[in-house]
Amino acid sequence: MRLLLIEDDAALRLTLARQLEADGYRVDQARDGEEGLFL
């Protein structure tokens, strides 16, 4: 499953993405909603 993770705190975003990827998810990351719209 592919997820879009939007979080402005870079450290938290990285931690969440790593855990989700370890759980088998494909993770696209964005730092805000505007950036997320373009992914």
The total domain count for the chain is 1
CA distance 35 to 21: 20
Query: Global pTM?
Result: 0.87
What's the mean pLDDT when you consider all of the chain?
A: 98
Give per-residue pLDDT as tens, 1-18: 999 999 999 999 999 999
Instruction: Report how far residue 20's alpha carbon sits from residue 15's, in angstroms, rounded to the nearest whole number.
Output: 9
Residue 6, Cα to own-chain centre: how many angstroms?
5
**Domain range spanning residue 26?**
2-37
DSSP 24: T
Per the document, the length of the chain is: 39
Looking at this protein, which amino acid is placed at residue 29? Q
